[in-house]
Amino acid sequence: MSIVKYILWGIIVVAIVIAVFAFSSVNTGEIEVDLLFRSVTTSIPVAFTIAFALGWLFGLACMALWAFRLVNERRSLKRSLRVSESEVSSLRNLPLTDAD
């Protein structure tokens, strides 16, 4: 990666960190999160951070599954191409028969 991309990523990360700190300082309240069998009281920034992290992990898992499917499809296409190329080369090596 070029140095410009690193600088841009650094600026984006710093902006996100500043936004998180600003959000945390403004929203200091507590909320109650009702889970399946339990109720948990936590601060608003912690709840949003956990929700963001879980959403990010879910998205990462979906992308990994998609990438895994692409790799498997690529592998099967390579195998099919190899078989087709060997069939074409064997057909090219057959002697020509003229219609007499």
Domain residue limits, the chain: 3-90
Asked if residue 45 lies in contact with residue 20, where contact means CB atoms within 8 angstroms, the answer is: yes
pTM metric for this prediction: 0.61
Least trusted range by pLDDT, from 39-48, 49-58, 67-76, 90-99 = 90-99
Asked if residue 48 lies in contact with residue 31, where contact means CB atoms within 8 angstroms, the answer is: no
What is the rounded radius of gyration, in angstroms, for the C-alpha atoms of the chain?
28
Greater model confidence, 96 or 68: 68
The mean predicted confidence, pLDDT, of the chain is: 89
Average the pLDDT over 66-70 and give the result. Answer: 96
pLDDT given at position 21? 84
Answer whether residue 79 shows pLDDT above 90: yes
